Structure formats: C-alpha cells, structure tokens
Homo-oligomer: A and B are copies of this chain.
Amino acid sequence: MRTVSAAAIAARGIRSYGRIAQTRRKIGGGGGWGMVVVREYASSSSGRKTEGGEESGRTPSAYETRLSPSLMQRFLFKKATHSIAELYRDATIAASVASSSSSEPPKVVLHGWIDGAPRKMSKKLTFARLRGVQFDVDADEQNTIQLVQFRSGKEEVERDGEVLARMKQETPVCVEGTVSQHQGTNRYEVKIISITALNHPHDLASQVREAKEWDPKDRYLQLRTPQLQRALAIRSKAAKIVRDQFISLDGFTEVETPLLFRSTPEGAREFLVPSRANERKFYALPQSPQQYKQLLMAGGVHRYFQIAKCFRDEDLRADRQPEFTQVDLEMGFAGAEDVIDVVERCVARLWGEVRGAELQVPFPRMTYLEAMTRYGIDKPDVRGGMEIIDLSEFATATVHKDYPVFEILIYRPLPTSSPLPDPSPPPIYPTLRTPYVFQLDSPASVTTWLMQCQQKFNLELTSGDLTTTARAIAEKYDLRAGDVVYACTRQSMPFENPTPLGRERLQILRETGVLDNESFAPLWVVEFPLFTPLEKAEVVDGHIEFDYDSLTATHHPFTMPALDSLPQVMSAIESGEQVDPRTVLGQHYDLVLNGVEVGGGSTRIHDSLLQRLIMAHILRIPHVEPDPHAAQPRNPFTHLLTALSMGCPPHAGLALGFDRVCAMLAGSESIRDVIAFPKTHTGADPLVGSPSEVTDAALDVYHLRRKR
C-alpha cells in the first residue's frame, strides 16, 4: 500500500474525484491514500463536513464496518418508472401537469445523465438538464428534460451525491421527483424530491463531450451523443426489419456459417488465423459466406439468410473497414427474378419505415451496357440528368482501335453557377485520359470544337464533311453559347469503368450540389459481361490495354452465364479458343442506390460440370480438373464442385452491404458513423489497443517466429 501525502493528493485535485474530505489533514498511520479512500467509502460525511472522530487520525485497525450510505446508493437505487419519452406518453402525468391543482402530483423516478453543467441560480435553486436513457429513434428531441432542485439549507446532512449544484456533467443519476410544466415551453420539468449520483465522473468526461474532434479513444463518450445514439438505434431497427421481412414474411431460415474458414485464392487478401491443433495450418476469416451458403443450398436449406460478419485485409481506403457486415441470402429452386423480388421489397420497406422515403417497387432496371453508355459507370446515380451522348452516328474514333466510340457530355451552366472545376485527372492512370473540354461561345464554334476533336481522337466522320457534321450535332443536341462540351472516347463494351466522361459527370454533379441526401433513386444493373479481360500493365497513349485472352470472372466464378450466351461459352470450350468477353453476359444483378452499389448477387451455376468447364477452360483456374470422372485434385473449390454434383438444386442469391445501407438510412457519408467501434484507417482500435503485441512464447505455440 503506497503512502501518499495529503498535499500531493490535494495537488492532484483528488477532491474532484470523490468526497475526500481530509485533504488538509495530515494522514497518519499506514495506508496513505488507501485509508483516505476507505474513509471515502466508509464515512457518511459530505464533501465539506466530516463526522466526529476522523479528524483525530485514528488508525486503520479500528476500521468500522459501517459503509457509506452514498456508496450503497450507487448500487441500491430505485427502478425507473418512466423513460423521458414515456413521460410524455403517460396520460396520468399529462392530466396532472395540465390541472395544476394542489393535489399531490404523481411521483416519477427517472434515470439518466447530467447533460451539461448544472446552473445554480441561488443558494437554494439549481437547474440542470437530464439526458435520458432510452433513445427513442422516432422522437429524439424528447430525450432531455429539465431538473429543478430547491434546497432549504436545513437538510440534515448534505451529501455531495445528492446536491445538484455540485454534480458534474456526465454524472449518471437516479432522480425521484414530480412532473410539472416547464414554464414558457411545451415541455415538462421535474422537481426533484431526491437525486442520487450513481457514479462520479472524471472531469475529462465533460471536457471531451464539448470537443469538436473525437479521438477514437473516447468512442464510448462519443456514443452518448444524439447522432451516434440515433445511428445505433437506426441500425438495430434496420436489422429487425430485414429479419422480419425475410424470416417472417418470405420463409427464410436464419443459419450461421463458420468464421474459421480456409484460405481461398480469389478476391482480396484475407486475415489468417494460425491453428494450434493442426500444426502449420491456418484458418482464414471469410470475405463472405459465399461457399458455405451454396453448400447450404446443396444441403436442402430452402431459403438461407444471415446478417454475417465478413473480413477483408485490404487497404482501407475510401471508407472501408477490415470487418464489415453483410445481409446475406440464398434461395433454392430459384433464379434472379426471385431474389430481385424479395430484396427490393425488403429495401423499399427499409427506406419506408426508417427513412420515411417511398421507393417504388419494382425498381427500374438497366443493363450494364446502358449504364456505361448513358452514365459512364456501372453504378450510376441517375439523379441529375446530364447523360452522356453517344456520337457514333456522326463519327468513329480511330486513335486506338479498342476505343472507337466518340461520346460527349454537355454541361449547361446556370447564370448563377460557380466556375466549373477543371477536368480532374483520373487518379490511377499515369498518362491522363481526360476529356477534351471546350466551352462554346457561339453556334459556329461547334465546328471549331469538332475540328479539335477530329485531330485529338483521329475521328472518321460518317458524312465525311466537318461542317455538315458539326451543324448536325449542334442541331440535334441544341447546343448553345455557354455550353461546356466534354468529349472523349470509350470501348464498345466498356471495361474501363468508370469511363472518363462517367467520372466527369459525377464530379460536376457533386460540385454543383445536385446530389443530395434527400432523394433516392434505386435501380438494378443487369446483364454484366460475365468475364472481364485482364488489364495489361502498359498504358498506351493513356489508354488501358486489355488482354482479351486472360479472363477473370467479373463478379465471381460461380455466376451463371446468360442462357443466350451459353452457345458462345460452349463453343469456346469445345474449340479450345478463348471466349470473347464482349459477347458473353452473366446472370448477375447489382442493386445501386444513388450511385452506390449497396448489394449484388447472381444466379449460380448449379451444374457441376458446367462450373468445372468454365473454371478450367475459360478462367483457367489451376488444378480444376474438368473431367468429372478423373480424380479431382484438391483445389479450393473441390468441396463446392462435389456438392453441386450431388443433386444441388438451382439457386441464386445476393448480399447487401449492411453498414453502407445503415449509413444511407442515417444520412451519413461514412460507415464509421453506424458502427459502434470502427477501426481507424490502419485497422487499429486505439480505444482497446488492438492490434497488440504478442510474446514470442505465444507464437511458439504455433511454431511461428518473427523474422528479424
């Protein structure tokens, strides 16, 4: 037990921590501050007076077993009779407040925190605000109430934990009182009969609450703010609606899939988990329940559903978390239409009940090609108009054979618009493939503009004549002086995604403030190319080169080709030549909302042989033996391929990014706002100190050691 001088204690402001009365006395005997603390717990005295006897510094061995009533009160407090919102819903209270008769008003007991510093009006009268416990997501302005304490000064003993004026911000309290009208408002106030502090907060608690910037270490303090209280309540409500919709209404079964999974070669980097019992082997945390949910389909689970944790050890750019949550589902004896139907009804219900926004069901659909053509991106924000215009009827670009389509974007600034942003360089490409920007000052300048384009993009004009073409374009699209024209090229089936004009469009819409948080435009993007050619390392004249012979699955290898595309697929398999990815579409569907991909899924390949053929011949995944009767070497898909061959029914599914959905419902830009304890951009949680150091001995257990 350390001995600490009273002066030292006083210097540290120990008084602020509790009711240590004896700061000016010299502490005698052993025990130091420990004994002082025991006095804190043992004495029934207040912060200012002490009961007789302790002044004389008696020795610890005469320690009394009588414990301080105010300590006990921290553990023995009355149950609340109401939350604040419930007060307003209580008709008896309302009647009593309204009547202002002299009869005894009903007593209530409330729990909550002292919200803001109490305001001492006089020796006897103090006001404070109580922040209640039950955050009502539908009535958040009702979560505080005014407290009034009138003390005659003749109270028998003044205990700090009962004097409102001396309570600190963020003190959790139990209040018993009566309800009356808060004069001059339509709100209630509580006249305190008794109030008890249930804990004594450190000064830092209130200082941090006032801060503008939040340190991750103070996350639990930040959780007390209305914004985060609301965000957590919205998330809980959203999860409830989703479950209710799928499980109660649509006959889904909730099934948990394992998180101790295995390493697979596709997609992002995974988190590894060394195994103690299986020497030198590792689990991996799954990026999604994809494979297990298909095994559930093979297992006869008719409709599977789960709100699942997923993990991805990637760079955490652009509002990503290493650990995130998906609403995950799969349907047996089903296809795309079945999944699309249940999902859009669920999403519409979510937006209706949580956000009060009505989304028309069924959602509109757009093909990938259409999205790339009109909006330049596979997750278009269709609000704000300003679609991209394909000028193929007038000209073809020949500067690069893979990018023949000549297209433009017309921006018509309002007289009041701020100056335009410069065309932003694409962030990734070393050589800039930016649109050619030209502001028309007169109709005639269209010809000048077209001439520039002709040079820049090596255009072949359909009509052969520059002026005619220019005039035709100007007339068709009603070009006027002041219009800003962005011109660029793209592929016929664009794999460059977004296209330069697509990127431009989004930037203009954002900077001109057209896109808000109040309107919602959902749509399904369908008919994606099933396969995506690999991007070559070299960039030619700013153009990305694609290797049309090396293909990856656009979404994942388990996506079924469109039935219309099956002939091409079979033909390629048979002939041994690679399929042309520009001609093969897949049964994938993405759900896009305001330009954000909130979810996606596909009809799966439930035929084991077709799955193997595609993996082996088109995707050229190693170790996949296409011959169904040859022994299958162990590859990461063996279990799935085998399960498909054991009478697995047709199935389709989807996953929604639940963090993203909740952020949109809460009107937040960042998913950090809807996660209780998010990680930083380096994947750390400074609050709990994760990740942390681990001893060499701990690593020994796994036969691992650190490299020097």
Other-chain residue from B573, B648, B702 in contact with A172 (beta carbon distance below 8 A): B648
21 A-B residue pairings within 8 Å (CB atoms): A42-B570, A75-B563, A75-B603, A111-B332, A133-B332, A135-B302, A168-B647, A198-B650, A217-B639, A222-B299, A223-B300, A232-B255, A233-B253, A260-B323, A262-B689, A271-B273, A273-B273, A283-B691, A284-B690, A292-B677, A700-B707
Q: Given A273-B271, A333-B80, A689-B639, check contact A280 B646 (CB 8 Å).
A: no
Q: How far is the CB of A371 from chain B (nearest CB, A)?
A: 25
The stretch from A50-58, A354-362, A627-635 touching chain B is A627-635
A693 surroundings in chain B (CB, below 8 A): 280-282
Q: Is A107 an interface residue (CB 8 A)?
A: no
Q: Using an 8 Å CB-CB cutoff, how does the interface string of A586-619 with B read, 1 for contact, 0 for none?
A: 0000000000000000010011011001000000
What is the CA–CA distance of A603 and B675 in the complex, to the nearest angstrom?
26
Whether B236 pairs with A649 at a CB distance below 8 angstroms is no
Q: Is A388 an interface residue (CB 8 A)?
A: no
Q: Is A7 an interface residue (CB 8 A)?
A: no
Segment 203-223 of A: residues with Cβ below 8 Å from B = 204-205, 208, 217, 219-223
Whether B278 pairs with A205 at a CB distance below 8 angstroms is no
Q: Is A442 an interface residue (CB 8 A)?
A: no
Q: How far is the CB of A131 from chain B (nearest CB, A)?
A: 8
Q: Is A82 an interface residue (CB 8 A)?
A: no
Segment 264-309 of A: residues with Cβ below 8 Å from B = 269, 271-278, 280-285, 291-292, 295-296, 298-302, 309
Interface bin, chain A: 35 or more
A200 surroundings in chain B (CB, below 8 A): 647
Other-chain residue from B77, B332, B606, B691 in contact with A282 (beta carbon distance below 8 A): B691
Whether A333 pairs with B172 at a CB distance below 8 angstroms is yes
A423 surroundings in chain B (CB, below 8 A): none
Q: Is A187 an interface residue (CB 8 A)?
A: no
Other 12 A-B pairs with CB < 8 A, given A41-B610, A221-B646? A13-B629, A63-B574, A113-B647, A170-B647, A198-B650, A199-B606, A219-B299, A232-B301, A255-B676, A260-B691, A262-B685, A638-B689
Segment 679-704 of A: residues with Cβ below 8 Å from B = 679, 682-685, 687-694, 698-704
A205 surroundings in chain B (CB, below 8 A): 646-647
Whether B2 pairs with A627 at a CB distance below 8 angstroms is yes
Q: Given A111-B333, A253-B232, A309-B259, check contact A650 B1 (CB 8 Å).
A: no
